[in-house]
Structure 1
Amino acid sequence: MASLKLFWNDSIKELKKVHWPDKPTVIETSIIVGISTVIFAAFLWLVDIGIAQLFKTFFYN
């Protein structure tokens, strides 16, 4: 049980050392991540459509 308390106290000490970003930074980076995710998803969707067309052309005709 002592090791659990030591772990907990050390975890709290480490969390106090963390530099937490301010609200505008969190909002800005969240928007960037969201936009990047949408762009990457659209890219993968287009690649998937292209590969599906290639398979249809070569294997079903």
Structure 2
Amino acid sequence: MINATLKYPTFKLRILTKERGLEVYLDGEPIGETPLNETDVPVGIYSLTIKRNGKIIY
């Protein structure tokens, strides 16, 4: 018998911008501010949004 724990594959998301402190969202959920350094994200298709003071800029 083999006991194993399966993990979903992830990737490292890194977002660098000239302006610091921009809000980063994946599928409408906040995941941090820029610069965003190597955040683990499950592999998939996402909607990426970047906001400044609550207004979408990307």
Q: Shared fold (TM-score greater than 0.5)?
A: no
TM-score for both structures, normalised by structure 2:
0.23
TM-score for both structures, normalised by structure 1:
0.22
Higher relative contact order (CA 8 A, sep 6+): 2
Instruction: Please identify the structure whose Cα radius of gyration is greater.
Output: 1
Q: Where is the strand percentage greater, Structure 1 or Structure 2?
A: 2
